[in-house]
Structure 1
Amino acid sequence: MKLLLTSAGVNNKSIHDALVDMLDKPIADSTALCIPTAMYGHPWVGPGVKTWEFISGKEENPMVNLGWKSVGVLELTALPSIDKDRWVPLVRETDVLLVAGGDALYLCHWMRQSGLADLLPSLRSVYVGMSAGSMVMAPNIGEFFVGWTPPNGGDKTLSLVDFAMFPHVDHEMLPYNTMAAAEKWAAGMQGPAYAIDDQTAIKVIDGAVEVVSEGHWKLFAQS
């Protein structure tokens, strides 16, 4: 499984080059499915205009508008109501999954309910997450990021990587997302934790982790 876990999309050359390398072919020859589901669970984004902007490639964070051969929509909340043979082959055949930000626990819930969570480890697709779309891969997200509350409570996510992520460090519109806040958050996590700004992504291929950055980031490694 190949993961490109971004804070704010494919928004600089280093992250773009990493994506192309992971695809092993040009973006123009690659098919994509975008997953907007996390947006519905977050009060700042969707449903509504922001969700449409993501799907249509009109938003400022490059994901859908990179020049793909084709782009489809995979809405996780719809999947439990349709037969798996309607959507599983589509997911297996696509080159990249583009997973929007929003609420990580809401996204995690619907990844599990839909069956996508079970499918992810076997996919050949490149998974590109943005913000919550990246955080959901971690074992948990920490109390700092809990918004939507899952039926069973808690902050556990998919555990498809062994580290947690604190995105949007020092973002001008998120005054609480400071490196000091990230350090305090990391102290409460059980394993390695990365704080990354919007010019940074984490590349994971078969468990090997590499930070791709034109900005700043920090790894908090638990002793």
Structure 2
Amino acid sequence: MKLLLTSGGIINKSIRDALVDMLGKPIAEANALCIPTAMYGHPWVGPGVKTWQFISGNSEDRLVDLGWKSVGVLELTALPSIDEDRWVPLVRETDVLLVSGGDALYLCHWMRQSGLADLLPSLSAVYVGLSAGSMVMAPNIGEYFVGWTPPGGGDEALKLVDFAIFPHLEHEMLPGNTMAAAERWAAGMQGPAYAMDDQTAIKVIDGAVEVVSEGQWKLFSP
């Protein structure tokens, strides 16, 4: 399983180089599926124009507009209503999943409801997460980031990695996302936790973790 967990997307050379290395082929030869589902659960980003911007590659995260051989859309909320043979082969054959930001718990809910969560560990595709798309891989996200409330409550996520993520560290549009806030958040987490800015990503291959950064990040140990 290959994960590239970003805060702000593929926005510098180091993160892009890491992506190409994980793909094992040029971006122009790779087929992608983008997943916008998390956006619908967050009042700042969807539904509406920002969802269109992500899908069409007109957003600052540089996920969809990198020059892929092809890009398709995988909408998780639709999958429970169609047969698995309509979408599972497509996911298994794709080279990369591009998973948008938004609300991490909303995304987690629909990853489970759709069946994608069960499928992820067996995929050969590179999973590229943006903000909430990265946070959803953690054991939990922390009360600080709870927005949409899942039916059972709580802040539990997919547990596909053993660390949590505090994204958008020191972002000018998010004045509350300071290092001090990240430290308070990390104190409430039960495992390792990374705070990282938008120039940083975490690369995970078969459980081996590597930070790729041209910016600021910090690992908080439990």
The 1-side partners of 2:142 and 2:216 are apart by 21
The 2-side partners of 1:179 and 1:4 are apart by 22
The 1-side partners of 2:202 and 2:71 are apart by 23
The 1-side partners of 2:191 and 2:123 are apart by 26
Structure 2 unaligned blocks of 5 or more:
none
Q: Give the AA of the match of 1:157.
A: A
Q: Aligned pair count? A: 222
Deviations 1:37-82 (A, max 9, x none): 0000000000000000000000111100000000000000000000
1:192 aligns with 2:192: yes
| Partner in structure 2 of residue 105 of structure 1 | 105
The 2-side partners of 1:132 and 1:171 are apart by 15
| Partner in structure 2 of residue 91 of structure 1 | 91
| Partner in structure 1 of residue 130 of structure 2 | 130
1:42 aligns with 2:74: no
Q: Give the AA of the match of 1:95.
A: D
SS of match in other structure, 2:215: coil
Structure 1 unaligned blocks of 5 or more:
none
SS of match in other structure, 1:72: strand
Identity of aligned residues (%): 85
The 1-side partners of 2:158 and 2:2 are apart by 15
1:119 aligns with 2:119: yes
1:69 aligns with 2:69: yes
| Partner in structure 1 of residue 220 of structure 2 | 220
| Partner in structure 2 of residue 33 of structure 1 | 33
1:163 aligns with 2:159: no
Q: Give the AA of the match of 2:28.
A: A
| Partner in structure 2 of residue 13 of structure 1 | 13
Q: CA RMSD in A?
A: 0.2
Q: Give the AA of the match of 2:20.
A: V
TM-score normalised by the chain length of structure 2: 1.00
SS of match in other structure, 1:11: coil
SS of match in other structure, 1:91: helix
The 2-side partners of 1:14 and 1:57 are apart by 20
The 1-side partners of 2:62 and 2:218 are apart by 23
TM-score normalised by the chain length of structure 1: 0.99
| Partner in structure 2 of residue 173 of structure 1 | 173
The 1-side partners of 2:83 and 2:40 are apart by 23
1:207 aligns with 2:211: no
The 2-side partners of 1:59 and 1:193 are apart by 28
| Partner in structure 2 of residue 153 of structure 1 | 153
1:151 Cα deviation (Å)? Answer: 0.3
SS of match in other structure, 1:195: strand
Structure 1: 4+ residue segments shifted above 2 A:
none
Deviations 1:89-125 (A, max 9, x none): 0000000000000000000000000000000000000
1:82 aligns with 2:82: yes
Q: Give the AA of the match of 2:208.
A: A
